[in-house]
């Protein structure tokens, strides 16, 4: 049976959640089925507005706006002072949750191809809860004309970065040489590799490259952690975040990658990197 932890640390069974839903389902329906009320609350999220401001922001008629505000006032979600309207404390919380739900829905719609029939169990639940942070991302897909589009986009991002953090459960032959050239430009690189990728990388180096590799590790320009198994490929740079997944059949999906340069996505990606880093073993010479 699935359980949840509430703020007091007590366990909460799924039956409790279902009972809670029965208590608030009318409120949820009221807020989710009215686009007018939703748009009004979102418009008021940044501060008090007059009716003319709401008309300009939403594109709705004044009569429609006033009717929606009347309904929101009955629920104590919106308050008014003369012709100025603002969110109540409860309204503010509800609006923030609505915005999060909208951003989550956008992410799920955008990345349906990347998520359905793909492994997401390696992403912690707290980050899945904040997947709306990826709503400003783009799905890059390879096709029959440009079969290396995803890999080419990824390499372009890496080559034009000043800081790189990567999680790699996959190996491309050009990776070792690429990262060696990047590090020689005095760019710090942090990598979390699976055991297989780490061994494959070391095995691809000749004796001269291996000595350079050791030197970079000793100078702490290259930091490596090793983790047993990872089902997400992630790169976070100073300006971009990219991410790919394994299909449920166990094969990495080389044809699709999520890419974003939005600050929310970069922060999300860095949190995921830290999550894996805490579970990995630091490589030391």
**Do 244 and 123 fall within a single domain?**
yes
Q: Is 282 exposed, middle or buried (0-12, 13-18, 19+ CB in 10 A)?
A: exposed
Terminal CA-CA length for the chain: 46
Query: Is residue 128 domain-shared with residue 265, that is, in the same domain?
Result: yes
Q: What is the CATH number of the domain that holds 48?
A: 1.10.10.10
pTM for the whole structure: 0.83
Q: How confident is the model at residue 179 (pLDDT cuts 50, 70, 90)?
A: confident
Q: What is the pLDDT of residue 176?
A: 75
Range of the domain at 259: 113-282
User: Residue 87: which of 132, 52, 38 has the closest Cα?
Assistant: 38
108 or 204, which is more confident? 108
Is 108 among the domain residues? Answer: no
Distances (CA, A) of 81 to 51, 53, 86, 94, 241: 12, 15, 8, 21, 45
The CATH number of the domain holding residue 253 is 3.30.870.10
143 is written with which tokens?
């096709």
Residue 79 has pLDDT above 90, yes or no: yes
77-102: average pLDDT: 93
Predicted pLDDT at 19? 79
Half-sphere exposure of 158 (CA within 13 A, CB side): 26
Please provide the average confidence, as pLDDT, over all residues in the chain.
88
For the ranges 103-117, 135-149, 199-213, 266-280, the one whose mean pLDDT is highest: 266-280
Inform me whether the pLDDT recorded for 61 exceeds 60.
Answer: yes
For residue 4, is pLDDT > 60?
no
Is residue 181 domain-shared with residue 230, that is, in the same domain? Answer: yes
Q: Do 94 and 122 lie in a common domain?
A: no
Query: What is the domain count for the chain?
Result: 2
Per-residue pLDDT reduced to its tens digit, 191-216: 999 999 999 888 888 888 888 888 88
The per-residue pLDDT for range 259-281, each reduced to its tens digit, is 999 999 999 999 999 999 999 99
Alpha carbons 190 and 165: distance in angstroms, whole number? 5
Task: Tell me whether strands 232-237 and 241-245 are parallel, antiparallel or unpaired.
Answer: antiparallel
Which is more confident, 258 or 20? 258
Radius of gyration of the chain (CA): 24
Do residues 18 and 96 both lie within one domain? yes
Q: Are residues 153 and 20 in the same domain?
A: no
Residues 121 and 253 in one domain: yes
């Amino acid at each position: 049976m699935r359980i949840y932890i509430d703020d007091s640390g007590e366990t909460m069974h799924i039956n409790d959640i279902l009972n809670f839903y029965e208590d608030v389902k009318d409120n949820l329906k009221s807020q989710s089925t009215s686009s007018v009320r939703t748009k009004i609350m979102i418009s008021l999220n940044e501060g008090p507005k007059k009716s003319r401001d709401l008309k300009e922001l939403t594109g709705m008629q004044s009569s429609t706006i006033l009717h929606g505000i009347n309904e929101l006032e009955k629920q104590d979600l919106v308050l008014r002072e003369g012709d100025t309207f603002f969110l109540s404390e409860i309204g503010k919380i509800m609006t923030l949750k609505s915005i999060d739900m909208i951003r989550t829905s956008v992410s799920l719609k955008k990345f349906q191809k990347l998520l359905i029939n793909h492994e997401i169990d390696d992403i912690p639940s707290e980050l899945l809860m904040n997947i709306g942070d990826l709503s400003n991302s783009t799905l890059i897909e390879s096709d029959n004309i440009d079969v290396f589009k995803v890999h080419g986009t990824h390499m372009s991002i890496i080559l034009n970065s000043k800081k790189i953090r990567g999680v790699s459960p996959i190996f491309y032959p050009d990776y070792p040489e690429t990262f060696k050239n990047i590090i020689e430009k005095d760019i710090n690189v942090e990598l979390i590799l699976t055991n297989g990728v780490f061994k494959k990388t070391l095995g691809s180096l000749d004796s001269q490259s291996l000595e350079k590799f050791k030197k970079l590790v000793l100078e702490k320009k290259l930091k490596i952690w090793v983790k047993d198994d990872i089902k997400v490929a992630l790169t976070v740079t100073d300006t971009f975040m990219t991410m790919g997944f394994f299909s449920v059949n166990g094969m990495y999906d080389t044809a699709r990658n999520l890419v974003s340069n939005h600050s929310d996505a970069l922060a999300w990606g860095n949190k995921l990197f830290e999550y894996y880093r805490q579970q990995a073993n630091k490589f030391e010479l």
